[in-house]
């Protein structure tokens, strides 16, 4: 069945809440208003005010409450509205949520999902447009998920809710209205397993979030030039599925990484270092990186588009990789 990314996330929440009455949702405007994007619309009416709760505008309080709920055996899904505001609750997420299972022993469970909308969004500006995945790669104990398709979003959110580990679930705002086929039966997608979105033989493009769609657009452009691009969607940033990437690199021997995070110390920087350390003999050249410029996101939409990579920039990076052979 065709669903939007937003509908798929809503369906995952509803199905899991019907399955397990320990699951609850809370955050800013998630009840009567149904979330700023409409993800939780209608859930207050179905599940009631004890399981769908509005909170004050305090990310520290939202995460702290979710942490307490998880410790007592509930399965909270806390919404921080925008990923930018994870920084307000950084101490709670980094020092408590990520670490407590390790600090208190393997029998200690922390089933907590933090949902947040991330990324550029048509002129939302510097404080509402950040991608934070790379920051939480530095928080051992935290799982970081960034689905791209409606089917992946639904399957991975259901897996996240059923997990006994704390998870940051990042949803790109520009993907909410994209459509795709979503299975009607109950299904989950394993956490930590990448997906080859397009097979190819000349270059491996590892793309995250919105950049998966743009990498697929770039692959179509390059196909007209006789260049075969393999596009890999990690889906989960932490833990990262190295083996799927390594299998691809053994075939293509060229890699480009596309992300919307800033280039400096971003996801691509870590993956490039990993590939250099573990796959050096398979690479026919340095790893290419395409990322957002290292500037605060402008309000001006034309400038925003200049900051964020598009299909043409990804295609240009692929051509550069192949040109190094000659």
Report residue 319 as tokens: 């051509």
* Residue 114 to residue 151: CA distance in whole angstroms: 19
Report residue 240 as tokens: 């990262």
* 128 in active site: yes
Nearest Cα residue to 7 out of 182, 211, 235: 182
Q: Which of 95, 104, 128, 326 is catalytic?
A: 128
Nearest Cα residue to 290 out of 313, 323, 269: 313
Phi, psi of 40, rounded to the nearest 5 degrees: -100, 15
For the chain, the maximum distance between any two Cα atoms, rounded to a whole number of angstroms, is 65
Q: Which residues pair with 288 in a beta bridge?
A: 256
- Radius of gyration of the chain, Cα coordinates, nearest whole angstrom: 20
Q: What residues act catalytically?
A: 128
């Amino acid at each position: 069945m065709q669903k939007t990314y937003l509908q798929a996330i809503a369906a995952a929440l509803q199905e899991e809440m019907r399955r397990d009455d320990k699951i609850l949702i809370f955050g800013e405007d998630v009840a009567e208003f149904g979330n700023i994007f409409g993800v939780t619309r209608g859930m207050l009416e179905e599940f009631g005010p004890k399981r769908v709760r509005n909170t004050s505008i305090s990310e520290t309080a939202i995460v702290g409450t979710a942490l307490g709920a998880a410790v007592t055996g509930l399965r909270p899904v806390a919404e921080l509205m925008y990923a930018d505001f994870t920084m307000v609750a950084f101490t709670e997420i980094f020092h408590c949520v990520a670490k407590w299972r390790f600090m208190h022993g393997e029998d200690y469970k922390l089933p907590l999902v933090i949902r947040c909308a991330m990324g550029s969004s048509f002129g939302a500006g510097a404080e509402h447009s950040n991608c934070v995945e790379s920051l939480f790669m530095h928080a051992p104990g935290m799982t970081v998920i960034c689905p791209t398709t409606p089917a992946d979003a639904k399957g991975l959110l259901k897996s996240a809710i059923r997990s006994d580990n704390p998870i940051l679930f990042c949803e790109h705002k520009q993907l909410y209205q994209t459509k795709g086929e979503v299975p009607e039966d109950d299904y989950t997608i394993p956490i930590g397993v990448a997906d080859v979105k397009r097979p190819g033989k000349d270059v491996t493009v590892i793309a995250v979030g919105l950049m998966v769609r743009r990498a697929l657009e770039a692959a179509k452009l390059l196909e007209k030039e006789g260049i075969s691009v393999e596009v890999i969607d990690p889906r989960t940033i932490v833990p990262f599925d190295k083996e799927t990437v390594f299998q691809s690199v053994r075939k293509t021997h060229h890699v480009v990484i596309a992300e919307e995070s800033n280039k400096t110390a971003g996801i691509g920087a870590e993956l490039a270092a990993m590939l250099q350390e573990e796959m050096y003999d398979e690479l026919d050249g340095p790893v290419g990186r395409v990322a957002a410029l290292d500037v605060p996101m402008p309000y001006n939409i034309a400038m925003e588009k200049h900051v964020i990579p598009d299909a043409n920039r990804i295609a240009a990076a692929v051509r550069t990789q192949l040109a190094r052979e000659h």
